[in-house]
Every structure is written in C-alpha cells, then in structure tokens.
Amino acid sequence: MTAEPLPETAAVYWRPRVDAQGLARRGRLWTLTTVAHTIPYLMASAVLLWLEPLTAPVVFVLLAHAWVIPELYAKRGANVLRPRQRADEGAERTALGLLGDLVGHEARELHARTGAVLERGALGVWVVGEAGALLVTPGGRRAYCWCVRVEDGTLPSADRIAHLLLALRTDEPGFATVANLAFSGAPRRVRRRLPPSLRPALDGAVSTACRNRGR
C-alpha cells in the first residue's frame, strides 16, 4: 500500500488514523462493551431467581435480552455485506468486466459465487461488498465489520465494489478510518448471520488470515 492518504479522510479529521494496535484496542473495547450490556441482565436474572423462583418468566425475558443484544450487533455487522438493489443487466455486465480486470482469477471466481471480493491487506484479509467491508485480522480470530459506501446510488453492484476496492488499495488505514465500525467480534458470530451464499467469502478470509498468522 502507498503512503498517500485517502482524500476522504479529510472529512473525518477528528478520527485517529487506524493502525493494527488501535484496531486491536477497539476490538477489545467492543468486546468489553458487549459484556457490559450482557452482565447486568445475567446478574439480575440470578438475583431474581435466588430471591423468588416464581419470577422465572421475568428471568426468561432478562436472559432473552442478554442473548439478543450481542446477536443484534452481530446482525448489524453481517448487514455490511448484504447485496443491494441491482442496476440494469447491461450496466452490471460492463461493471463486472472492469472489476474482473482489477482482481485475480481466484477473487473473480469467489465474486461469481458470493458477490464479494477477497483482498489481502496489511491489517488482515478483507471481504469487500457493495456497501461495506469485513476485515479478518491475522490469525482469523477477530472480524471487524465496516459500513462504507460510494455516494452514488445509480452505480451497478460491481462498480460499487470496485470503488471500495480501489480506495482500500490506495490507502488501507485511511479506508478503515473513513469507514464506520459496525461490529467487532469472532467471525463465527457474523457467519451465522450472513446469507448462506456469502459464507464462503468469510470462510475464505478466515482461512487466509489463519495462514497469515505470522505476518
């Protein structure tokens, strides 16, 4: 990756530029926040059940809350890769030709199956979709889901991916700085919430990230 910063970072000047250490810190903070959301419900459930076993229905509701909050965050993360509305067939075909020129054979084949593109970066392995990207860090133990999109609704699907891919290749930390973090956690939590057609893209990113553990 080149050192030239992405011009879009000027619009988010107050954000510290993303690096591997900062990213790991944000990941830990995200996990801590999720635990902080869950623990009060679990403690309240235990106390209620201890004080009065007849409160079991209330305890059930509390436990459901403790389960659903992390799940909703994971769903929000998975949504960054959700396919958007398609443009007309001709435009999609033209855009697909350009995207195909930008990526290698493996990535082209994966895109045909899943609609997302796999890209290796310095921060980890990226799965780039139409309106967001998912980063699996080296070792494959944590995924970061980023909401980021091109500000033009008329673009065909492959062009939207090409926009994000070119920005990512121009300045990977800048790309992550501009994007909004939607979720951070274990890849398997996102995988459960992904449409089945997209799961091979995440699986590919995790296995590539596992191979890159030592990078």
Q: Does the footprint of another protein cover residue 151 (CB under 8 A)?
A: yes
Taking the C-alpha atoms of residue 164 and residue 151, their distance in angstroms, rounded to an integer, is: 11
Residue 132 in tokens: 């967001």
Residue 198 CA, distance from chain mean position? 12
178 is a contact residue toward another protein (CB under 8 A): yes
Q: Interface with another protein includes 24 (CB under 8 A)?
A: no
| Residue count, binding to another protein (CB under 8 A) | 51
Residue 202 sits in the site that holds another protein (CB under 8 A): no
Give the nearest distance from C-beta 54 to another protein in angstroms: 46
Q: Which of residues 9 and 38 has its CB atom nearest to another protein in the complex?
A: 9
Q: Which of residues 49 and 102 has its CB atom nearest to another protein in the complex?
A: 102
CA–chain centroid gap for 134, Å, is 3
Q: Is 180 in the site for another protein (CB under 8 A)?
A: yes
* Span of 27-35, 48-56, 65-73, 143-151 interacting with another protein by CB under 8 A: 143-151
- Reported as type and span, the H/E element at residue 120 is strand 117-120
Q: Which amino acid, 17? A: R
Find the angle CA(163)-CA(213)-CA(187) to the nearest 5 degrees: 60
Angle at 97 between CA 127 and CA 197, to 5 degrees: 40
Binding map of another protein across residues 91-130, x = CB under 8 A, - = no contact: xxxxxxxx--xx-x--------------xxx---------
Give the nearer residue to another protein in terms of CB position, either 45 or 171.
171
What contacts 44, CB < 8 A, 6 or more positions away?
62
- Note whether 156 binds another protein by CB under 8 A: yes
Joined together, the tokens standing for residue 121 give 């970066």
Contact range with another protein by CB under 8 A, out of 29-37, 63-71, 178-186, 198-206: 178-186
Residues 156, 147: Cα–Cα separation, whole Å: 18
Residue 61's CB is within 10 A of a number of other CB atoms, namely 12
Site string for another protein, 57-96 (x = CB under 8 A): -----------------------x------x--xxxxxxx
Task: Say how far apart CA 70 and CA 74 lie, in whole Å.
Answer: 6
Site residues (CB under 8 A) for another protein? Answer: 1-2, 4, 6-8, 11-12, 80, 87, 90-98, 101-102, 104, 119-121, 131-132, 146-152, 154-156, 158-159, 162-164, 166-167, 169-171, 175, 178-180
